[in-house]
Amino acid sequence: MEGKIRFPYIDMSNASMLFKLIAISGALGGFAAGYDLGIIGDALNVISIKLTDAEIGLAGSGLLLGSIFSSFFAGDISDRLGRKWILIFDAIIFTIMPLLLALATFNFATFLTWRIIEGFALGMDNVLSGIFIAEMVPTPKRNSYVATQQLMTVIAQFSAFWIGYALTPLKAWQLMFALGAIPAFIILLLRIKIPESPRWLLSKGRVEEAKEVLVKFFKVNVNDNELKIIHQALERESKRQPSWKDLFSSKFIKYAIIAIFAGLFMQFSGINAFVFYSPEIFVNLGYSKVQAAFMSGLSTGVALLWPVIPAQFYLIDRIGTKNAFLVGSAGMSTSGIIGSIFLLSLKGYQLGISTIITLFIFIFFFEIGYGVALWSFSPEIFPTPIRGRGTSLFMGADSIAGTIVTATFPVLLSMIGLAYTIDIYAGITLIAFMFFLKFIPNMKGKPLLEGLETPE
């Protein structure tokens, strides 16, 4: 049994409504974060506080800046304190910070402070939601359930774009932020009702509690002897619990490097720049602020939403995360290069239409590729003992790259223009395609790794 810890109970359960509740309550953190990320472009477009280009970049990247710090140790904290209560803590922060942004923002410093604190919760949630859902749902549908995180995120961003458009004529940036507290509070209420991960309970020796969760919530017949064997195996592993140093040992260094580069490539595709600053992009093309808000919702908002649904329910479980990364990289790089050519060669009405189309295509390929595969990737490639740290490493790299892209885009836009900025992102994404092709393991249809073995 040592080195191969089997946990068949979730797959044996037919508690489909419970799985949906777990997926939704875990992934709704993506909704709260998605709204706050999606509303930032329209809010900054009409904010009454005077900001320089550099301050606009920092304001836009505040959430990601805060998530850097929490992403790296979220796994450790969740391994110590459990999945459920950290998710509840995140929901509390998601509820309070939008209200402070609306009611207690007096200057750039206070604005950035609230965004960084909320980003701290965002980093925790990004790491934990994927782990929690992956540990709590059946293997055959794992990718679909985990991808619910991205579905919730894009639904929230879609909503945020149109709320921003409706409130832009009123310049009601405080109300734009305050509305984010409503879904966050609903998330908090849902998360209070979900059970703790029985895998985590067993890893802490809380065998009776794990059994109670499995019987009460999952409605499965629990083999007491096998539960004890699993607990003993986990106990043996806990005595040689890997550290951050172990994550970079010869046994796991390959997967640590993959996690770092995958996180970097995810954001250096430029996705956050195009989503956060889409109103600014259209203002840069000559549209008024109200027109820019509408064009942003029409192109970016719609493009973010609809590809996720077929990708989540029909694509990701069929092709696996590796192929999803490859499809996304190829499509984003190609559409970025074409969009850059349009920007350099077209003007007026033709330029506006071509920008909408290429932006739509770019985001489409991000969502069917990176967007859905993102949440399944790290829980799949790391075995249980280092899953928390491995996922933290991946999301930490993602947050660092996202912060850099979001903070530098307004400056690049004013220095070298939109076309050449897009060329930079397209070139990096082309490199990402080659990286994913060569180094990403194919985990399609394979169960989560329970012991210290590595994927083949």
Q: Does the pLDDT of residue 271 top 50, yes or no?
A: yes
Determine the structural domain holding residue 266 and report its residue range.
9-194+240-439
Question: Which tens digit of pLDDT belongs to each residue from 408-424?
Answer: 998 898 899 889 999 99
Q: How far apart are CA 186 and CA 309, in angstroms?
A: 23
- 5 or 197, which is more confident: 197
Q: How confident is the model at residue 250 (pLDDT cuts 50, 70, 90)?
A: confident
262: CATH:
1.20.1250.20
**Residue 3, pLDDT score:** 42
Q: How far apart are CA 224 and CA 214, in angstroms?
A: 11
> Does residue 24 belong to any structural domain of this protein?
yes
**Residue 355, pLDDT score:** 83
Q: How many CB atoms lie within 10 A of CB 442?
A: 14
In the chain, the amino acid numbered 384 is: T
Question: Which tens digit of pLDDT belongs to each residue from 10-52?
Answer: 877 877 788 888 888 887 888 888 898 889 988 988 898 888 8
Q: How confident is the model at residue 2 (pLDDT cuts 50, 70, 90)?
A: very low
Q: How confident is the model at residue 221 (pLDDT cuts 50, 70, 90)?
A: confident
> Does residue 217 belong to any structural domain of this protein?
no
Q: How far apart are CA 199 and CA 191, in angstroms?
A: 18
Q: How far apart are CA 65 and CA 152, in angstroms?
A: 22
pTM for this entry: 0.73
Q: How many CA atoms lie within 13 A of 415 on its CB side?
A: 9
Tokens of 212: 């109670």
Q: How far apart are CA 309 and CA 112, in angstroms?
A: 33
Report the domain count for the chain.
1
**Residue 329, pLDDT score:** 92
**Residue 313, pLDDT score:** 59
235-238: long-range pairs with CB below 8 Å, 24+: 235/205, 236/2, 237/5, 237/385, 237/451, 237/452, 238/203
Q: How far apart are CA 286 and CA 93, in angstroms?
A: 38
Q: How far is CA 411 from the centre of its chain?
A: 25
Q: Is the dihedral of CA 13, 17, 18, 24 positive or negative?
A: positive
3-state DSSP call for residue 117?
A: helix
Q: How confident is the model at residue 274 (pLDDT cuts 50, 70, 90)?
A: confident
Crossing angle of helices 16-38/83-103, nearest 10°?
30
Angstrom distances, CA of residue 121 to CA of 82, 117, 189, 312: 15, 7, 17, 25
Most confident of 69-83, 182-196, 386-400: 182-196
Q: How far apart are CA 28 and CA 121, in angstroms?
A: 13
Decide if 46 contacts 99 (C-beta within 8 A). no
Torsion of CA 33, 35, 36, 41, to 10 degrees: 130
Q: Does the pLDDT of residue 325 top 80, yes or no?
A: yes
Q: Does the pLDDT of residue 165 top 70, yes or no?
A: yes
Decide if 313 contacts 144 (C-beta within 8 A). yes
Q: How many CB atoms lie within 10 A of CB 103?
A: 10
Percentage, residues of the chain above pLDDT 70: 88
- 313 or 113, which is more confident: 113
Most confident of 182-191, 225-234, 362-371, 433-442: 182-191
Q: How far apart are CA 354 and CA 431, in angstroms?
A: 25
> Does residue 396 belong to any structural domain of this protein?
yes
Q: How far apart are CA 37 and CA 60, in angstroms?
A: 8
- 401 or 153, which is more confident: 401
Q: What is the DSSP string of 56-103?
A: HHHHHTHHHHHHHHHHHHHHHHHHHH-HHHHHHHHHHHHHHHHHHHHH
Q: Does the pLDDT of residue 447 top 60, yes or no?
A: no
> Does residue 259 belong to any structural domain of this protein?
yes
> Does residue 364 belong to any structural domain of this protein?
yes
Q: Does the pLDDT of residue 112 top 90, yes or no?
A: yes
Q: Does the pLDDT of residue 268 top 90, yes or no?
A: yes
Q: Does the pLDDT of residue 122 top 50, yes or no?
A: yes
Percentage, residues of the chain above pLDDT 90: 22
Q: Does the pLDDT of residue 395 top 90, yes or no?
A: no
Q: How confident is the model at residue 241 (pLDDT cuts 50, 70, 90)?
A: low
**Residue 123, pLDDT score:** 83
Mean pLDDT of 164-170: 92
> Does residue 455 belong to any structural domain of this protein?
no
Q: How far apart are CA 407 and CA 64, in angstroms?
A: 10
| Neighbouring residues of 116: CB distance < 8 A, sequence distance ≥ 6 | 62, 63, 65, 66
Crossing angle of helices 83-103/62-81, nearest 10°?
150
> Does residue 358 belong to any structural domain of this protein?
yes
> Does residue 454 belong to any structural domain of this protein?
no
Q: Does the pLDDT of residue 111 top 90, yes or no?
A: yes
- 319 or 327, which is more confident: 327
DSSP conformational letter for 180: T
Q: How confident is the model at residue 198 (pLDDT cuts 50, 70, 90)?
A: confident
Q: How confident is the model at residue 64 (pLDDT cuts 50, 70, 90)?
A: confident
**Residue 283, pLDDT score:** 84
- 310 or 101, which is more confident: 101
Q: How far apart are CA 402 and CA 346, in angstroms?
A: 30
Q: How confident is the model at residue 63 (pLDDT cuts 50, 70, 90)?
A: confident
